[in-house]
């Protein structure tokens, strides 16, 4: 009998819905409603829709340029750091880095090219 009671208790726990899930579901419904209204307004105003598309393209392009600039900065900072340290330490550091990330870079290049 105790096994049956435990079985019922365990199954009932699975059916419980937490407050968080309900709040998240309501938020998603609200987001969907907002998206639908925005789509309707944009469809009614093609100029705004086109401006939004252009703004999104510009924003995306800007983010890509930012990421590229950050990569260039990182390269220069790393290079400055390498040339600023003693040569013996630099050689050891480069070997350690290549040993650590070399196989991943090789795999990435093989999969990309």
Q: Which has the higher per-residue pLDDT, 101 or 69?
A: 69
Query: Quick check: is 9 in a domain?
Result: no
pLDDT at res. 112: 78
Instruction: Map the chain to HEC letters.
Output: CHHHHHHHHHHHHHHCCCHHHHHHHHHHHHHHHHHHHHHHHHHHCHHHHHHHHHHHHHHHHHHHHHHHHHHHHHHHHHHHHHHHCCHHHHHHHHHHHHHHHHHHHHHHHHHHC
Q: Which residue has the tokens 């938020």?
A: 27
Query: Quick check: is 1 in a domain?
Result: no
Query: Quick check: is 29 in a domain?
Result: yes
- Average pLDDT of the chain, as a whole number: 86
Query: Quick check: is 47 in a domain?
Result: yes
Average pLDDT over residues 7-25: 70
**pLDDT score of 106 more than 60:** yes
Query: Quick check: is 90 in a domain?
Result: yes
Q: Look at the chain and report how many structural domains it folds into.
A: 1
Query: Quick check: is 7 in a domain?
Result: no
Query: Quick check: is 26 in a domain?
Result: yes
pLDDT at res. 1: 47
Decide: pTM greater than 0.75: no
User: What Cα–Cα distance (Å) separates residue 38 from each residue in 33, 42, 54, 58, 111?
Assistant: 9, 6, 16, 20, 40
Query: Quick check: is 33 in a domain?
Result: yes
Neighbours of 85 (CB within 10 A): 12
Structural domain range at position 44: 18-112
């Amino acid at each position: 009998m105790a096994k049956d009671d435990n079985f019922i208790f365990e199954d009932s726990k699975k059916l419980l819905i937490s407050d968080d899930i309900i709040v998240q579901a309501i938020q998603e419904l609200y987001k969907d409603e907002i998206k639908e209204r925005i789509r309707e307004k944009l469809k009614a105003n093609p100029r705004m829709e086109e401006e939004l598309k252009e703004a999104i393209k510009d924003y995306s392009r800007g983010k890509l340029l930012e990421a590229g600039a950050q990569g260039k900065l990182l390269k220069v900072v790393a290079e400055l750091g390498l040339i600023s340290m003693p040569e013996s330490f630099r050689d050891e550091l480069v070997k350690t880095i290549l040993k650590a990330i070399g196989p991943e870079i090789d795999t990435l290049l093989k999969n990309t090219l």
